Amino acid sequence: MNSSTQPDFDSAQSLSELHDMLDQVRMKNGWAKPTPSLYPEPKKKFVPAHWRYQDAKAALHTAGRLVSTEHAERRNLIMANPIPGNDYASVSTLVGAYQMVKAGEVARSHRHSPNAMRVILQGDENAYTVVDGQAIPMLDGDVLLTPNGCYHGHDNQSEKDAYWIDFLDVPLVQFLGPMFFQIHPQQVENTTAINPNSEMRFAFKDFVPKLLTQTEQTSGVKLMELGPPRLCTFDRFVISLAANQVWSCEKTTANHMFVVLKGTGSTQVEGQTFTWQRGDMLAIPSWYEHSHQAREETILLRVSDLPLMKMLNWDRF
């Protein structure tokens, strides 16, 4: 509706009359809003959550019987944060998913504007993620990048089903708007080379010794960034915890996801305790103080949107 007549604002005898007139010009008052637009500190919209690899693995095994990679773009399970109305984001900017590609199976190549990375839980030297034509082997504990715009597909030429975790900044892209997605013209992209030394791969066998021989401690633990290359929206750090070691983390504006690469232990957050083992995933949204306790020698991977917060000058703790 586009009314050409202006309400007679001068005739308003009360605020509610003024508010009614504002409706006619499609404006809202800023002085009596039902909910404030600014508030003293971050609202905790998302909640801390824990997902078990053993549940995901069993569900994906069954999905392997019922869902084909010809019909589904990806055979994946979304770790949606368990808050009302949410069916996708794990924390506000990131989504975590478990994915499985069966022995001998291919998941066709595509590219998209969201950035992605994988954490391999059950891999093999003959199971690959193909990034821009290069087949990158996926071995247990490896971390693989597929930056936005790179064509990528999955090709499992091994004898066993491959399981891994995906992280993507899809919720951020959905919020900001610049979503693009395209299937590769060949569907299954030709592989030009097998490259175990791709800069897109952080091999578990290489980064673990580096992490463990490190002498420096950051916030009481051995903590090491996996990079470069870096993505603009999220980072990845590996953390080593000795048996019984506790790592206490202040609340920060950054959103965190954790993967247990090795070991067992528990995480305390706001009176809740999550008891985890290898392959499990945790969501620790912004503004939650939390602490991890290893039961045995443990390696955690932390994925967070800290680079984004820093870029925008919103990193606080």
Interface residues with ligand GTQ (CB under 6 A)?
74, 76, 97, 99, 116, 152, 166, 168
* Closer residue to ligand GTQ (CB): 148 or 304: 148
* Closer residue to ligand GTQ (CB): 116 or 300: 116
Q: Least separation, in Å, of the C-beta of 96 and ligand GTQ?
A: 8
Burial of residue 40, with CB atoms counted within 10 A of its CB: 0-12 exposed, 13-18 middle, 19 or more buried: exposed
Residue 2's alpha-carbon distances to 175, 224, 258, in angstroms, are 29, 58, 51
* Closer residue to ligand GTQ (CB): 129 or 158: 129
Cis link prior to 229 (omega < 30° from 0)? yes
CA 238 to CA 222: how far, in whole Å? 8
Q: Least separation, in Å, of the C-beta of 107 and ligand GTQ?
A: 7
Q: Least separation, in Å, of the C-beta of 111 and ligand GTQ?
A: 9
Q: What are the residues whose beta carbons fall under 8 Å from the beta carbon of 294, sequence distance 6 or more? A: 241, 242, 243, 244, 245, 246, 263, 264, 265
Q: Least separation, in Å, of the C-beta of 181 and ligand GTQ?
A: 8
Q: Least separation, in Å, of the C-beta of 52 and ligand GTQ?
A: 18
* Closer residue to ligand GTQ (CB): 99 or 253: 99
**Residue 257 tokens, joined:** 């996801």
Outline where the chain has alpha helix (H).
Answer: 15-24, 53-66, 170-176, 204-213, 306-311
CA 261 to CA 240: how far, in whole Å? 10
* Closer residue to ligand GTQ (CB): 152 or 290: 152
CA 229 to CA 31: how far, in whole Å? 47
Q: Least separation, in Å, of the C-beta of 100 and ligand GTQ?
A: 11
Q: What are the residues whose beta carbons fall under 8 Å from the beta carbon of 66, sequence distance 6 or more? A: none
* Closer residue to ligand GTQ (CB): 100 or 241: 100
**Residue 288 tokens, joined:** 């939650």
Neighbours of 19 (CB within 10 A): 15
Q: Least separation, in Å, of the C-beta of 134 and ligand GTQ?
A: 15
* Closer residue to ligand GTQ (CB): 74 or 230: 74
Whether the CB-CB separation of 103 and 156 falls below 8 Å is answered with yes
Sheet order of strands, 49-51 included: 49-51, 281-284, 256-262, 298-304, 235-241, 222-225
Residues in the chain: 317
Q: Least separation, in Å, of the C-beta of 76 and ligand GTQ?
A: 4
* Closer residue to ligand GTQ (CB): 12 or 78: 78
